[in-house]
Each structure stands twice: as structure tokens, then as C-alpha cells.
Amino acid sequence: MNIGAFEIDGPVPALRDLHVITILRPWLDAGSVGTLALGALEEHFRARPLGQLTLPGRFFDFTRYRPLVHYVEDERVMTVPNVRLSYVQRPEPPDLVFLHLLEPHANAEAYIDTLLELVKALKVRRVCRLGGMWDAIPHTRTLPVTRTTGGQRPRTARRYEGPTSIMNLFFEALEKEGIETVAFMVRLPYYIQLEEDYAGVARLMEAFGELYPLPPDLVDPARLQQQQREVEAELARNPAAATLIRQLEAEYDAQQAATSDAPPPPLPPAVERFLRELDEDPPSG
């Protein structure tokens, strides 16, 4: 069956209290952390295919997203870039759909419309996005993860002005439809910029696990250790790196101290008014 521009494999399964876990390539997928995390989740939950776009060339330029050739035994197979969905029916709700989003190169408005048609047809309650970005963060400290709900910018986040993704319109439209949105964004050291950052994936999964309980070993510890050894060896060959890292560590530690010492935010006016009325007219008894 078809839902908008998507071809669904067979009848839509009965999914309960459905949550969609998604990433967006290449925007905000530094170190491929979103892609790797989503793949790890699909493998952990043994997700089954659900569907894909029928004509991905309507939205994507295949000179920019290149098809891949590989072999299955002796058979040569070509994989065309596409938006693919998989799902898992868990013993207890919510059930999950994993959605590999790509930024469109053409017909972006139609692309967003068909994605909205899909999530409404599946009766999605929440869409959770995973990703990563380069930042002035030392690799020697805990990588920060920003969690935002409903598109709200955290008070500690920097105000960004500049190029963005057309796909932000999709996430804004979800909120207008009453669909909850949550985003987890891990910040990675800009001076390393690994193609696949497993330390970033592990930190992203740790933060994501606060919302969806997960085992601690979704990222292979051997890969993490190998990455750490390679990074330290590369930095040791760069004398300027030590000075940069010390500076970033000092800024990171100062920011953490300032955050921990900051006074609590002011109470909402309604709460202040309620407490003031209690002081003025204490209850009898």
C-alpha cells in the first residue's frame, strides 16, 4: 500500500502509542553520530522493514547522494539512497518506528507534505531526533548533550543565526499538528572531526537512554578504546593541540562552575502570587 510518496510493505501493523526515532543527514549529523546511533537502535530492537519512498529521485540528486555498490555473496547489488522506515512492536508501548531522513535537493515542500501525511497516517504521538554538531568542546571532558522539547531553545544554548535546513519546517509542522517533538544533540570537538565518532555515539546513547531505557553496551567498548588511542596518538604529533585543549578545558570547567553556581530561575508570577497570599493569609487549623 502507499501513503503519500511512500510504499509501505504490506498492511500497516497495529502500532501502539507510536514514537518515531529519526535522524537528518547530512545536517547536524557530525561524526555520523545520528546515523550510527539509529543503526545501533535498529539492531538492538531487531527492527523490521516498514517502507521507503517509491521514487527517491523526485527529491534527491544522486550525484550528491551517491548510490552504493556491494556484493551479496557473488551477486552485485546497488543500493539507491532513500528514506527508509523500520519498526519494532515492543512488549509494552510505545512501539517505535526508525526513520532515516535525508535533506531534499528538490521539491522540498512536497517532501515535507508527504512526511506529514505519513506520520499522521501512522498516528504518531512523538518524534525524537538524534544528531551531533561540531563545537569548541575538549575531548577530555564529558561531551555535552542538549535536549530540547517542542522546538524550545535551552537558556544555556547560543543564539544561532545563519544557514539552516529546510527540514526545520517539517519539525515545526509536527508541533502545529499536536505531535510532540524531542531532540538530542551531542556537541563534538571541532579539532578532531572524525568521520565516525563512536565516543559521540556512546554519549548520545547515554543521554537518549534517560528517555528510553537502553543497555550500556550498544557501542562496542573496543571501538571506543581504539578511537581514543588513535586520537591521542594524532594529537601527540601536534604540539599546538595541547595548548588548544588546555584552553578549551579551562573554558569548559569555568562554564560548568558558573552553571552549578547560578541562582535558581525566578518563579512564575502565578506561583509567586500564590506564595505571597499564603504569607498574608495563612490557613487556620
Phi-psi region of 4 (alpha: psi -120 to 50; beta: other; left: phi over 0): left
236 belongs to a structural domain: no
pLDDT, tens only, 162-207 = 788 999 999 999 999 999 999 999 999 999 999 999 999 999 999 9
pLDDT of 151 reads 56
Taken in order 167, 169, 173, 175, the sign of the CA dihedral is positive
pLDDT above 50 (res 279): no
Question: d(Cα 85, Cα 97) in Å, to the nearest integer?
Answer: 7
Is residue 244 within 8 A of residue 191, CB to CB? The reply is yes
Query: How many Cβ atoms are within 10 Å of 89's Cβ, its own excluded?
Result: 14
The residue range of the domain holding 196 is 2-220
Stretch among 118-122, 150-154, 215-219 having the lowest mean pLDDT: 150-154
pTM over 0.75: yes
DSSP string, 163-202: ---TTHHHHHHHHHTT-EEEEEEEEEETTT--SS-HHHHH
pLDDT above 50 (res 271): no
pLDDT, tens only, 92-108 = 999 999 999 999 999 99
65 belongs to a structural domain: yes
Question: d(Cα 10, Cα 2) in Å, to the nearest integer?
Answer: 9
99 belongs to a structural domain: yes
Q: Tell me which of 143 and 160 has the higher pLDDT.
A: 143
248 belongs to a structural domain: no
Average pLDDT of 216-237?
92
229 belongs to a structural domain: no
pLDDT of 159 reads 66
Query: CA 212 from chain center: how many Å?
Result: 13
CATH of the domain at 69: 3.40.50.10900
268 belongs to a structural domain: no
Give the CA distances from residue 128 to residues 21, 63, 125, 243, in Å, rounded to whole numbers and listed in that order.
5, 29, 10, 38
284 belongs to a structural domain: no
